[in-house]
Amino acid sequence: MKALALTQPGELAYVDRVRPEPAPGEVRLRIRRIGYCGSDLNAFRGLNPVMTYPCILGHEIAAEIETVTPGVPPQFQPGQLVTVIPYTACGQCASCRADRPNACQHNQTLGVQRDGALVDFICVPWSKILYSPKLSAADYALMEPLSVGFHAVERGRVAAGETVCVLGSGMIGLGVIAGAALLRQARVIAVDVDDAKLALARRAGAAEVINTKNESLHERLRELTGGHGPQVMIEAVGLTETFETAVAEASFCGRVVYVGYAKKPVTYDTKYFLLKELDILGSRNASRKNFEEVMSVLESGAYPTQETVTRVVPFGLADRAMHEWLANPAQITKIQIEMS
């Protein structure tokens, strides 16, 4: 079978792989659709600090159960369309002992630290799959990035009626917006420099939008919050400027959540940490609970799946699609790869 591997920064290659055989307690999945992740693009650029080369890409997964084995619960049957939680957990590190396996010290994400799912078949433990008869392949292939956004909302302890400012309306930002607005019933202010992305942010649940190319972020946030600033600032861009902005614009006793990571060192005026008594939080990956929350929102039809997927391309053009994304990153929210 064929797979698409990132052999080194800037180089993709179609490679041959042997069709895997499932062990007891595993299912063999025929891959139907894969989403390209922002981390894939950063890995292609050579800017993903946790990427292992060479590696078969793919951790945003829609797949069909092809084979079940002894030990797989009877609710999982061949022919069902499912998704995969693509992370591992060692069960022994400090994160796992704290019941936060999403932040496992030794995590290996499919398509990042180990070979992923941009291939015809993979085998996974049954405990890593989720099934709903109501979801499409496009829905399933969006679940992982949306779950990352939902986890950031959970880390920020977002509550109904609070004002949440989301810096960035890319794929992860959209997950944050949907998690805060559609799941937690918070008031969301979406921030970006692209009007099309902000229009999509409204469809995902944002009550207000700010295009910082056209207006002052500080002035608009003060206007929208009665001069106090948002109670929660969630950074989903990964720039030094937005890391600093999140702290500067948060309200007193507010929470700041970082779900992006800056590519360069960040310098802070630390007086705001103390004067405002801020909670500053990191957010990594997602939990099974977050995946289940996303599934419920997608089942309701409240999230705009079709508008989020910018392009669907066949597997044979997946390498070209990555180069085109690199050339025009601002024009793409989500590329999904249709397997044969």
Residue-by-residue DSSP string for 227-275? TS--SEEEE-S--HHHHHHHHHHSPTT-EEEE-S--SS-----THHHHH
On whether residue 225 sits in a domain, the answer given is yes
Cα–Cα distance, 32 to 30 (Å, whole number): 6
Q: Are 168 and 77 found together in one domain?
A: no
Q: Tell me the pLDDT tens digit for each residue of 139-186.
A: 999 999 999 999 999 999 999 999 999 999 999 999 999 999 999 999
Q: Tell me the pLDDT tens digit for each residue of 182-228.
A: 999 999 999 999 999 999 999 999 999 999 999 999 999 999 999 99
On whether residue 211 sits in a domain, the answer given is yes
Q: Tell me the pLDDT tens digit for each residue of 297-330.
A: 999 999 999 999 999 999 999 999 999 999 999 8
Q: Are 47 and 124 found together in one domain?
A: yes
CATH code of the domain containing 159: 3.40.50.720
Q: Residue 282: left (phi > 0), alpha (psi -120 to 50), or beta?
A: beta
Q: Are 78 and 169 found together in one domain?
A: no
Closest CA to 252 of 226, 235, 230, 269: 230
Q: Are 75 and 38 found together in one domain?
A: yes
Please give the model's pTM, rounded to 2 decimal places.
0.96
Q: Which of 282, 297, 324 is the last residue of a domain?
A: 282
- Structural domain containing residue 263: 149-282
Q: Is 98 helix (H, G, I), strand (E, B) or coil?
A: coil
